[in-house]
Amino acid sequence: MEMNGFDDNQLERLRSCRECPRACGANRFESGGYCKSPPVPKLASANLHHGEEPPISGLRGSGTIFFAGCNLSCIFCQNYPISQLRHGREITLEQLVEAMLKLQDRGAHNINFVTPSHATIALEAAIPLARDGGLRIPIVYNSSGYDSVGQLRRMKGLVDIYMPDIRYRRDDIAEKLSNAPDYPEINRAALIEMHDQVGELRFDSEGIAKKGLLVRHLVLPENRADTELALDFLKNEISPDTWVSLMAQYFPAYEAHDIPGMDRKLTADEWRRAVGFFERSGLNGWHQNL
Ligand code: SF4
């Protein structure tokens, strides 16, 4: 029996949700747990985005579908009106499928789900429907990297490109900045699972990403993101051919103004050191300019 496009198994998991690493057991038809999200998370936006990495945005743009809500509570979130205040509109699975097909019609190179970790049950149901409806472009799973191995395994074969963050290597920092002391351990297992599923990033003849893993790392003030350790992990435990996007765009947003050391942008010296680690690592990828 189906209800609103979900099958029985998906409905059962929605009624006692333990999908993401929070495993709160909440009824998504009622309170929605830590992420406070309904079965299909609210839609904050669905648009062509030209500011992602070159093989993701290409010339025509990435078809980003931005979900409201999040399973992390980062004190510096640059999208906090969407992630923490959950600004967005309620949608059905059918409308989610329509949004995907519409972005393909507008020329999107891919469908890029932003903050999907609390949306995986909806994606399990929606992606096959969209494929049946004619969706041909790759699916990008653009997450904070706080994903359980179980939920990623259920995404196997549905996701073409994983684009997770690698944020922290230290539990105390992950607790203080994102209320997730187990982030380093969860993230490590998630990245290994993602790489096992899709391998290194691969491109078509025009340089557009088709399949694989692309890891983002946001450098934080006072080396709170442990950039060198993060890059060492990618090189030694994922693959020396991993593609990485090193990001300089940190600025104090949301509650970060109140945390000493997080209340400023990176210094030129901090950024130079991070780029030095990246260049010495030999990993593939790009870095922003400060
Ligand atoms: S997806 Fe939401 S409700 Fe489900 S376990 Fe994670 S935080 Fe809890």
Q: From the first residue on, what is the mean pLDDT of each consecutive set of 10 residues in the chain (290 residues)?
A: 79 97 96 91 97 96 97 93 92 97 98 98 98 98 98 98 98 97 98 98 97 98 97 98 97 92 96 97 94
State in Å: Cα 27 to ligand 1 middle.
Answer: 9
Q: Tell me, yes or no, whether 25 lies in a domain.
A: no
pLDDT of residue 262: 95
Q: Which residues are bridge partners to 225 per DSSP?
A: none
Q: Tell me, yes or no, whether 2 lies in a domain.
A: no
Q: Tell me, yes or no, whether 24 lies in a domain.
A: no
pLDDT of residue 250: 96
Whether the CB-CB separation of 135 and 188 falls below 8 Å is answered with no
Q: Tell me, yes or no, whether 216 lies in a domain.
A: yes
Please tell me what DSSP assigns to residue 210. E
pLDDT of residue 31: 78
Atom of ligand 1 nearest to the CA of 20: 6
Probe residue for ligand 1, chosen from 15, 22, 36, 178 as the CB with the greatest number of ligand atoms within 8 Å: 22
pLDDT of residue 1: 36
Please tell me what DSSP assigns to residue 222. G
Element holding 120 (H helix, E strand): helix 120-132
Report pTM. Answer: 0.97
pLDDT of residue 235: 98
CATH code: domain of residue 209: 3.20.20.70
What is the token pair recorded at 185?
């351990």
Q: Tell me, yes or no, whether 6 lies in a domain.
A: no
Q: How far apart are CA 3 and CA 226, in angstroms?
A: 45
Q: Tell me, yes or no, whether 224 lies in a domain.
A: yes
Probe residue for ligand 1, chosen from 24, 84, 151 as the CB with the greatest number of ligand atoms within 8 Å: 24
Q: Tell me, yes or no, whether 32 lies in a domain.
A: no
Using CA positions, which residue lies closest to atom 1 of ligand 1? 118
Q: Tell me, yes or no, whether 7 lies in a domain.
A: no
**Beta-strand runs (E) in the chain:** 43-49, 62-67, 111-114, 139-142, 161-162, 202-203, 209-218, 243-247, 284-287
State in Å: Cα 168 to ligand 1 middle.
Answer: 21
The total of structural domains in the chain comes to: 1
Burial class for 239, CB neighbours closer than 10 Å (0-12, 13-18, 19+): middle
pLDDT of residue 29: 95
For helices 171-178 and 183-198, the axis angle rounded to 10 degrees is 100
Q: How far apart are CA 92 and CA 137, in angstroms?
A: 22
Please tell me what DSSP assigns to residue 3. B
Output the ligand 1 site: residues, CB below 6 A: 17-20, 22-24, 26, 28, 32-35, 37, 71, 118
| Residue numbers of the domain that contains 97 | 40-287
